[in-house]
Amino acid sequence: MRVSVDEGRCCSSGQCAALAPGVFDQREDDGVVVLLDAAPPEAAHDAVREAALACPAAAIQLRS
């Protein structure tokens, strides 16, 4: 799995960081998503998929 984020679309809801904290974080100043791991381990794939689905701005893209 490859993960990318569109910081320009991010609305700073924090769903991604809450659901997959090893893959996503948020910037301190404005809460915009920070991608920590663009190729997360298989054990994190379900959480990353859930985070992508939960993102209200559709700012997370997944590729296999």
Confidence of residue 4 (pLDDT cuts 50, 70, 90): very high
Mean pLDDT within 54-59: 98
Average pLDDT over residues 49-53: 98
Q: In the chain, pLDDT over 70 holds for what percent of residues?
A: 100
Lookup: tokens for 15: 């769903």
- Phi, psi torsion values for 4, nearest 5 degrees: -135, 160
Supply the pLDDT for residue 22.
97
pLDDT digits (tens, 9 = 90+) for 18-39: 999 999 999 999 999 999 999 9
Cα–Cα nearest to 36, from 60, 57, 58, 63: 60
Q: What does the alpha-carbon distance between residue 64 and residue 60 come to, in Å, rounded to a whole number?
A: 14
Which residue is it, tokens 């791991």? Answer: 37
- Report the C-alpha gap between 49 and 27 in whole angstroms: 21
Q: State the average pLDDT for the chain.
A: 98
